[in-house]
Structure 1
Amino acid sequence: MTIRITVTSVFVDDQTKALAFYTDKLGFIVKNDVPLGEHRWLTVVGPDDPDGVELLLEPDEHPAAKAYAAALVADGIPAASFGVDDVHATHARLIAQGVRFTQEPTSMGPVITATLDDTCGNLIQLASPA
């Protein structure tokens, strides 16, 4: 019996704004967009892996979610880490699109990382092999 990650989430302050950022800037595609009252079950996936792990853009309505996300940002801790083929190239492409980075591409031993602001209350780390 194997246990797999199928869905993971980031708390977002606005699902519509988050969807635009994650699709238009980061290049994810919508997997699920199901109305659930005031909010949606809204997931995105990588375009090269449409059946892969889904990222839930989860509303940060719970008071603990807001405090948690704010504390991570205040301490400079990414809420999630995404793999890319080349951090330097991805960084340059996203900078050209107006994405704000809090950490420029930095060598971290076997990986190169950079951290961006997703405009929805999170820092997101990008990582590629060094």
Structure 2
Amino acid sequence: MRIRLTSIFVDDQAKALRFYTEILGFVKKHDVPVGEKDRWLTVVSPEEPGGTELLLEPAGHPAVKTYRDALVGDGIPLAQFAVADVRAEHERLSGLGVRFLQEPLEMGPVTTAVFEDTCGNLIQIASQPQ
């Protein structure tokens, strides 16, 4: 069994695509119209173009707002992305205007940081020495 696709709810797919590609550095994999305004829109890591896809899913379902508000209110990230160096990535993203809620924090062998993705979610980045 492998994870092929996971999703994250976004308020605006075009805005999310810009953030996840232009700021975070992912690349668009699929962009297929679904209905009048929604799209099957996925991004992948440029390091693993055949790897796990992240679906930028419209947040239109009524339960999404309650779910995301609860997570954000409690400071819980919806997703975590691995990076080689959290401190370097924090500096790069901060320079691009990304708002961090948790500065780099060492927790044993793992370093993490948490930021807002501008689309209604908290995202955690993490690195662990190899």
Would you call these one fold, judging by a TM-score over 0.5?
yes
| Residue deviations 1:56-99 (CA, integer Å, cap 9, x gap) | 00011001111111110111000000000000000000000000
Percent identical pairs in the alignment equals 64
Question: Which runs of at least 4 in structure 1 moved beyond 2 Å after TM superposition?
Answer: none
Amino acid at match of 1:112: T
Amino acid at match of 1:111: V
Aligned residue for 2:47?
Answer: 48
| Residue deviations 1:6-54 (CA, integer Å, cap 9, x gap) | 0001100100000000001000000100000120000000001000000
Amino acid at match of 2:20: Y
Task: Indicate whether 1:121 and 2:120 are aligned.
Answer: yes
Q: Distance in 2 between matches of 1:114 and 1:32?
A: 28
TM-score (norm 1): 0.97
**How many pairs align?**
128
Aligned residue for 1:61?
Answer: 60
- Aligned partner of residue 89 in structure 1, secondary structure: helix
Q: Distance in 2 between matches of 1:57 and 1:70?
A: 18
From 30, 33, 37, the equivalent of 1:32 is 30
- Aligned partner of residue 102 in structure 2, secondary structure: strand
Note the residue ranges of structure 2 that are not aligned, 5 or more in a row. none
